Amino acid sequence: MAEPVIIKSPDGGWGWMIVLAGFLNNCLLVGVTRSFGVFFIHFTQYFQESSSRVSWITSIAMATQQFASPVGSVFGMYYGARPVVMVGAIFAFLGMLTASFGQTLLHMYLSIGVLTGFGWALVFTPTMAMISRYFKRRRALATGLAFTGVGVASFFFSPLFQLLIDAYGWRGAIQILSAMMLNLCVCAALLRPITIQEDLLVASRGHPANGKKSTEFWNKVTSAFDLTLFLHRGFMVYSFAVTLMTTGYFVPYIHLVAHGKNLGLSDYKAAFLLSVTAIAETIARLFSGWLADLKLIQKIHMLFLWSIVTGISLLLIPVGSTYYSLVGVSFFYGFCSGGLAPLFFSTLPDIVGIGRILNATGLFLMLLSIGGLLGPPLSGFLEDLTGSYTTSFMTAGGFILAGSLVLFFLPSFLICTVVLSEQQSCDQVSAGDGRDHSAQADVTNYCLEE
């Protein structure tokens, strides 16, 4: 039986269960990645490797998750989010389990970096796209609520991982972590499919065939992955800006614990810095989502402001030289970065339209993989070179500030102030840019498009 067509996003109802699934997924994906720095000291000692080489574990995992996101998008379109997320959970479980038996750093790269990272790609992309499909008016708040899972997990996971390492060693701790990954299967069960009008508009697009098999194959690939987004100026500029931001965004979560230990803090005090960051981050994600949905200013302008203060907060981390000053700058960074993260995804539908959000999320994350791959190893290399993380944090802040400046190159960024209502026809906007032109389309901010 065909699914009922819902003219517009329900903005509630079962959507809150989708948000719960997103919350738990973020706990077990991004939250684990953020807290994984607790293991790094033990990895450097056991494998006798440098900080930069050990940092590649999470860098490869994040890069694989993001680079493989288009695969999660395509599978989600053809098979639905629920089975795809369940398969991703199995991959994540197997990757962590095999890592617990690792004897070389290469083993960790392949198990956690590639296998678990690929599983996370199948989990994250369909889930976040589903939230955007269920919400319109409250989209930023719903996204912010889902991302609070990152802060909650970071608060509990950092000391929890340290406790598990002390009790069972790093291998036993990772085995317990692998079992936690299976909870993603439960989250997948919450992802009830929904069909909205924009799906029919996107499905109606066709690619004319000219009889050549190679062209027909390319048309199928282009249609499945929606590669025409690479010709979308707004999408490409936005992706480049956020890629620069993510190059520096994750650096404190990877190296803040090690930075605290370099300054003489105990293991638990250093791990508590991430917990402080997580508290501030959780508060900021809720505040940022609520503020964005008030529509006092455009979300893209709000993202610009949050990125500026986040870059500044990274520049201030080296100022902290005592425990309490480190707690203060960690809280400030957590609040700023927490306000920034939900806007990455809640702004994307404003640029490409909700009908293309699943493919756009996958390609967007694939481009972001460049920043996730380069940021932590670069900061580790700078620490090996200078003997401290001061240069690493300063460079990371510079990347985020550079990304904020790139936002100025978005089409009509400086004059984009008008929000189109649902009742306004997209025909009012000039054609020829690859977006949906239909009455009652879910349009929030097409002034950002090309």
For 369-384, how does the pLDDT look when each residue is reduced to its tens digit (9 = 90+)?
788 778 877 888 888 8
Token pair 């699914």: residue: 3
Structure tokens of 442?
A: 């879910």
pLDDT higher for 248 or 450?
A: 248
The tokens describing 394, both together, are 């300063």
What mean pLDDT, rounded, does the chain reach? 80
Q: What percent of the chain shows pLDDT beyond 90?
A: 28
114 falls in which pLDDT band (50, 70, 90)?
very high
- pLDDT tops 50 at residue 32: yes
Q: What is the pLDDT of residue 440?
A: 35
Q: Provide the pLDDT for residue 11.
A: 67
Nearest to 66 by CA among 288, 298, 364, 266: 364
Which CATH fold would you assign to the domain 14-196+225-448? Growth Hormone; Chain: A; (1.20.1250)
Q: How far apart, in whole angstroms, are the C-alpha atoms of residue 302 and residue 298?
A: 6
Measured CA to CA in angstroms, residue 448 lies from 103, 236, 329, 335, 351 at distances of: 50, 12, 34, 27, 6
pLDDT for 3: 52
Q: pLDDT band at 37, cuts 50/70/90? A: confident
Total-model pTM: 0.71
Collapsing DSSP to helix, strand or coil, 6 comes out as strand
Residue 440: both structure tokens together: 């009652």
DSSP string, 224-250: HHTGGGGG-HHHHHHHHHHHHHHHHHT
Q: What is the pLDDT of residue 388?
A: 82
pLDDT of residue 201: 56
What SS3 state is found at 196?
A: strand
Query: Tokens 């440098």 correspond to what residue?
Result: 50
